[in-house]
Amino acid sequence: MIKLEKKYDVIIVGTGVAGLNCALNVSPERSVLVICKDSPDKSDSYLAQGGICRLPEEADYQSYFDDTMRAGHYENNPAAVEAMIRGSQEVIDDLVACGVDFARESDGSLAYTKEGGHSRPRICFHEDTTGREITTRLMAAARARKNIIIVPYVTMLDIICDKNACYGIVAKDGKNGRLYRLFADYTVLASGGVGGVFENSTNFRVLTGDALAICLNHGVPVDHINYIQIHPTTLYTKKKGRRFLISESVRGEGAVLLDKDFQRFTDELKPRDIVTAAILQQMKRDGTDHVWLDMRPIPREEVLGHFPDIVRHCLTEGYDVFRECIPVVPAQHYFMGGVRSDTRGATTLPRLYAVGETCCNGVHGKNRLASNSLLESLLFAKRAAQDINSGYCPIDMAAAKAAEGALDLAKYSNPSKLLREYKAEVLAAIKAAASGEGQRPPFDLPAENSPSDPQYKGDNA
Ligand SMILES: Cc1cc2nc3c(=O)[nH]c(=O)nc-3n(C[C@H](O)[C@H](O)[C@H](O)COP(=O)(O)OP(=O)(O)OC[C@H]3O[C@@H](n4cnc5c(N)ncnc54)[C@H](O)[C@@H]3O)c2cc1C
């Protein structure tokens, strides 16, 4: 068992692509602790199917920018969008250098696929398991680094801070039950989205927005908490647990959506919110629990080569995609809101950074364009590490100890209860923001029957 030190140079909360890429870009002479709530492979990064966007050529810049802004209903931060697109080639180069095996054309150049909302193919992929390929390679690289220590089953319960700065975190070790107060010169929140608060979600159930609740409690601004993305196509099932995604690139490659009479009813390649609305409307009209997705327009070889995991999973659920349509239904998928951060990942509280799905730097606006998330997470996590490296200066230990001394330790005596309270706070904040906008979210709130204690039961969904 790893015994945690009292002080690290950098603490990173989360082992998804954002947390790992941040760790890998912190200077090797700095000590870095990376923690995660469950096992390291229980991150949404691991689940990503479709791929990761890359600007294929300069001539595509304006079109990629316009597609991202249009999908986001022009509520995006244009500077963040520009930074993401301009940084996309560097991100893919870094991943290739790390050993990521993207699909290639016969001449060795990167192969690109297309998804909804994109006006041309610009998505790099590895079969339909792009996230697993990327996360596994980043994890191996991080584990090989002497300055990085990765400790699973450790849950951040709070940050240690005063109004001037963040000095570290309070965390509970789920294995030995110990409560730690850990100091850091810089703390990075890379703790993913909020799918665990919804009953029907493609996300791991451990992702319940703890960082958001913690920031709300400390007055660190959280933006657009009600900007929740619903994915149009998850495999319909009556079973409980995480919903299995049917990647948008399936539609990008030619699959079509059909109503109860097996007739097409929408343009499958519109942005996600539009396709989701069309499906929900059709279900209402038809009085059904799902619509159908027909993958048979895609050539068999293409399906086998590009979507083997989807084919396998559908078979285990009793559907042969080569012979029949599969039932699909929308489910919660992604969180566009989050802890307010700038394009360096900095929050409004000095020494506290937020990157990946936990943060909101405005890049996605009101609705994320497909396959922009891995890219955004990787790029701005690297930026955060670079910002830490360039301005590095240690914390004032006297102030850190005073902030530690001001903690009410009784608050952490029952971590399961505290995490349930955080979850309820996040849900309440989402509802309040949604009703303030006169919005009726097209998804089921709340998730009363979701696991009451995501930390200690784990997630086998
Ligand atoms: C099924 C699916 C398919 C997707 N496909 C794509 C795709 O093709 N392309 C794309 O761009 N995006 C895709 N996405 C979205 C993308 O995968 C995520 O947005 C992205 O990976 C988020 O990365 P992250 O590092 O911010 O968070 P995550 O990868 O979710 O990692 C979060 C980490 O935080 C840890 N954590 C959370 N709370 C705490 C706490 N209190 N204490 C300690 N640790 C904590 C978790 O244990 C985990 O390690 C998909 C998402 C899903 C669910």
What would the pLDDT profile of 343-401 be if each residue is shown by its tens digit? 999 999 999 999 999 999 999 999 999 999 999 999 999 999 999 999 999 999 999 99
| pLDDT at residue 55 tops 50 | yes
- Our answer on whether the CB atom of 381 is closer than 6 Å to any ligand 1 atom is no
| Residue 14 sits in the same domain as residue 104 | yes
Q: How would residue 116 be classed by pLDDT, with cut points 50, 70 and 90?
A: confident
- Our answer on whether the CB atom of 35 is closer than 6 Å to any ligand 1 atom is yes
Give the mean model confidence (pLDDT) for residues 136-165: 98
| pLDDT at residue 454 tops 60 | no
Give the mean model confidence (pLDDT) for residues 251-276: 93
| pLDDT at residue 172 tops 50 | yes
User: Which of 127, 253, 373 maximizes ligand 1 atoms within 8 Å of its Cβ, making it the mutation to test the pocket?
Assistant: 373
Q: Which residue has the higher pLDDT, 199 or 369?
A: 369
Closest C-alpha to ligand 1, atom 26: 356
Residue 36 lies in a domain: yes
Catalytic residue list contains 272: yes
Give the mean model confidence (pLDDT) for residues 181-209: 95
Q: What is the pLDDT of residue 158?
A: 98
Percentages (nearest 5) of helix, strand, coil residues in the chain: 35, 20, 45
- Our answer on whether the CB atom of 207 is closer than 6 Å to any ligand 1 atom is yes
pLDDT above 70 covers a percentage of the chain that reads 95
Closest C-alpha to ligand 1, atom 17: 45
Q: What is the pLDDT of residue 346?
A: 98
Tally of domains in the chain: 2
pTM here is 0.93
| Residue 222 sits in the same domain as residue 247 | no
Q: What is the 44 CA–ligand 1 centroid distance (Å)?
A: 3
What would the pLDDT profile of 213-241 be if each residue is shown by its tens digit? 999 999 999 999 999 999 999 999 998 88
| Residue 207 sits in the same domain as residue 285 | no
Q: How would residue 5 be classed by pLDDT, with cut points 50, 70 and 90?
A: confident
Give the mean model confidence (pLDDT) for residues 158-183: 96
| Residue 272 sits in the same domain as residue 220 | no
Q: What is the pLDDT of residue 240?
A: 85
- Our answer on whether the CB atom of 185 is closer than 6 Å to any ligand 1 atom is no
User: Which of 45, 85, 157, 188 maximizes ligand 1 atoms within 8 Å of its Cβ, making it the mutation to test the pocket?
Assistant: 45
CA 15 to ligand 1: nearest atom: 49
| pLDDT at residue 128 tops 80 | yes
Which string of DSSP letters, residue by residue, matches 355-388? -GGGEE-SSSTTSPPTT-HHHHHHHHHHHHHHHH
Q: What are phi and psi of 390, to 5 degrees?
A: -75, -30
| Residue 15 sits in the same domain as residue 159 | yes
CA distances from 337 to 209, 359, 420 (A): 11, 7, 21
Q: What is the 406 CA–ligand 1 centroid distance (Å)?
A: 32
At 171, which CATH number?
Answer: 3.50.50.60
Closest C-alpha to ligand 1, atom 27: 192
CA 376 to ligand 1: nearest atom: 11
Q: What is the pLDDT of residue 440?
A: 60
Least confident of 16-20, 46-50, 91-95: 46-50
* Annotated active-site residue in 272, 340, 351, 383: 272
Q: What is the 79 CA–ligand 1 centroid distance (Å)?
A: 24
Q: Give residue 160's identity as a one-letter amino acid code.
A: I
| pLDDT at residue 458 tops 60 | no
| Residue 220 sits in the same domain as residue 114 | yes
| pLDDT at residue 441 tops 60 | no
Give the mean model confidence (pLDDT) for residues 1-27: 94
- Our answer on whether the CB atom of 369 is closer than 6 Å to any ligand 1 atom is no
| Residue 116 sits in the same domain as residue 30 | yes
Q: How would residue 35 be classed by pLDDT, with cut points 50, 70 and 90?
A: very high
Residue 67 lies in a domain: yes
Question: Does residue 142 contact residue 24 with C-beta atoms inside 8 Å?
Answer: yes
Least confident of 35-39, 147-151, 263-267, 457-461: 457-461
| Residue 30 sits in the same domain as residue 147 | yes
What would the pLDDT profile of 288-320 be if each residue is shown by its tens digit? 999 999 999 999 999 999 999 999 999 999 999
Q: What is the 14 CA–ligand 1 centroid distance (Å)?
A: 9
Q: How would residue 443 be classed by pLDDT, with cut points 50, 70 and 90?
A: low
Question: Does residue 32 contact residue 147 with C-beta atoms inside 8 Å?
Answer: yes
Q: What is the pLDDT of residue 363?
A: 97
| Residue 306 sits in the same domain as residue 355 | no
* Sign of CA pseudo-dihedral 80, 86, 88, 92: negative
Question: Does residue 185 contact residue 394 with C-beta atoms inside 8 Å?
Answer: yes
| Residue 198 sits in the same domain as residue 125 | yes
| Residue 219 sits in the same domain as residue 87 | yes
| pLDDT at residue 452 tops 90 | no
| Residue 68 sits in the same domain as residue 155 | yes
- Our answer on whether the CB atom of 331 is closer than 6 Å to any ligand 1 atom is no
Task: Let me know how many helices (H) and strands (E) the chain has, helices first.
Answer: 14, 16
The token pair at 216 is: 């709300």
Q: How would residue 273 be classed by pLDDT, with cut points 50, 70 and 90?
A: confident
- Our answer on whether the CB atom of 38 is closer than 6 Å to any ligand 1 atom is yes
Q: CA 233 to CA 154: how far, in whole Å?
A: 33
Supply the range of the domain harboring residue 194. 7-227+336-410
Q: What are phi and psi of 46, to 5 degrees?
A: -65, -25
Distant-in-sequence, close-in-space partners of 421: CB < 8 Å, separation ≥ 6: 213
Q: CA 180 to CA 13: how far, in whole Å?
A: 14
Q: CA 45 to CA 137: how far, in whole Å?
A: 12
